[in-house]
Amino acid sequence: QVMLQESGPGLVKPSQTLSLTCTVSNGSITANYYYWSWIRQFPGKGLEWMGAIAYSGSTFYSPSLKSRTSISMDTSKNQFTLHLSSVTPEDIAVYYCARDPGWAVSGDSWGQGTQVTVSS
């Protein structure tokens, strides 16, 4: 079955850009009709959907994060990447990538998650 793995820095400095990459195995990120999402979990709180990129390359973002979020895909590497700019300690969370079977459908496969800390 499909597997997802997050990678990237565990520590970023305030005001910098966080870049996290999700590598997908045993499945193509261009396969109809999947969406590939980034979700984060704040300490002691629930999940927040950040955005997604579709099999077609179309992107969608949470309104609260749209101004500083970008998601791209590299089909040759079967990866998609999150860029979150101007980070602050409010962005400290565990970040997950996930596969969604369709638009507005919750993920059926998740990465293990990666802890991101924002500190100078």
| 53: CB partners within 8 A, 6+ apart | 29, 35, 36, 59, 60, 71, 72, 73, 80
Q: What is the largest CA-CA distance in the chain?
A: 42
As a whole number, mean pLDDT of residues 67-74 equals 98
As a whole number, mean pLDDT of residues 77-99 equals 98
The amino acid present at 117, given as its one-letter code, is: T
Q: What's the CA gap between 117 and 44, in Å, rounded? A: 15
> Tens digit of pLDDT for each residue in 53-65?
999 999 999 999 9
Residue 17's pLDDT band (cuts 50, 70, 90): very high
Residue 104's pLDDT band (cuts 50, 70, 90): confident
Residue 102's pLDDT band (cuts 50, 70, 90): confident
